[in-house]
Amino acid sequence: MDALTQGIAIGLTRQVRVITALTIREVRLRNSKHAFSQLFDVLEAIVFIVVHWIIFTFMHRQLLIGDSLLLFISTGIFPVLFFRTMSMKAAAAVEASKSVTSIPYIEPLDYSIARTFVEFLSFSLLFTFFFAMIAVCNESRFAIPSNPIPILHFFTIITLFSFGMGLVNSFITYLFPLWKFIYAFVSRVQIFFSAVFYIPEYMPPQLKYWLSFNPIMHIVAVFRTAFYPTYPTHLLSLPYAYSCAAGVVLLGLALERALRNHRHQ
């Protein structure tokens, strides 16, 4: 039993070192030509949020909850773009892993984890600053989360779901290369079906029923409950969101293993 425990500890330590080294390598590669180039995707997300805020402001969009339209839009768009970017980077990492898999102990899965972690850090740090600036500018008194528990649920679910979806997409792209472009379009359209610009509980019953099957809608709702204490949660189901994330990760790992075996043949 001691030998088994020691073997597991050595394996985990080696895995952490490999992923840490790949993460540092990824950051250095992205910044080798342009400083902080890994933040471009995040800055694009912020521009996307501000543009929609300006459009809805000029349209005199009615505020559904809280005291700031900017915060409401931000808490909806951020999770969707977070998921989109991390899942696409995780998928691209498997395809681009040929440059590192020649090194002992490194597999495509390790590179995918490292890239996902880099995106996670980039989005988390810059959006923390973004929400802090909303609070500093007195744009909203809800800009600082009042409940940290939903934030922990949000980061856990969206990271697992994005990583798993990335692995699934890498397998589909290997069989059907055009899927990469199709997914990029579909994931962008996803923003209109994930309760970003509205609250699903206020929709007609039939629409609420179909929206409830969208796991991203649940992720957006979890995130918003951290900012809005009175946010409606009749449709929110944490067990469903966790089940979807776990199921996608298991499926992604199985497909990644199948793809790895196929490439080694």
Domain range list for the chain: 41-264
Q: Stretch 142-171: mean pLDDT, rounded?
A: 91
Alpha-carbon gap, residue 43 to 236, rounded angstroms: 29
Q: Stretch 49-59: mean pLDDT, rounded?
A: 84
Q: pLDDT above 70 covers what percent of the chain?
A: 86
Taking alpha carbons only, the member of 122, 158, 5, 137 closest to residue 67 is 137
Q: What does the pLDDT read at residue 247?
A: 95
Q: Which two tokens stand for residue 144?
A: 């600082």
Angle of helix 215-225 versus helix 69-96 axis, rounded to 10: 130
**Whether pLDDT at 4 is above 70:** no
**Whether pLDDT at 225 is above 90:** yes
Contacts of 121 by beta carbon, 8 Å cutoff, 6+ apart = none
Give residue 35's pLDDT band: very low, low, confident or very high (50, 70, 90): low
Q: Stretch 110-118: mean pLDDT, rounded?
A: 83
Q: Stretch 12-38: mean pLDDT, rounded?
A: 71
Q: Stretch 151-158: mean pLDDT, rounded?
A: 94
Q: What does the pLDDT read at residue 243?
A: 95
Q: Stretch 137-157: mean pLDDT, rounded?
A: 89
What pTM did the predictor assign? 0.86
Q: Stretch 114-136: mean pLDDT, rounded?
A: 85
**Whether pLDDT at 53 is above 80:** yes
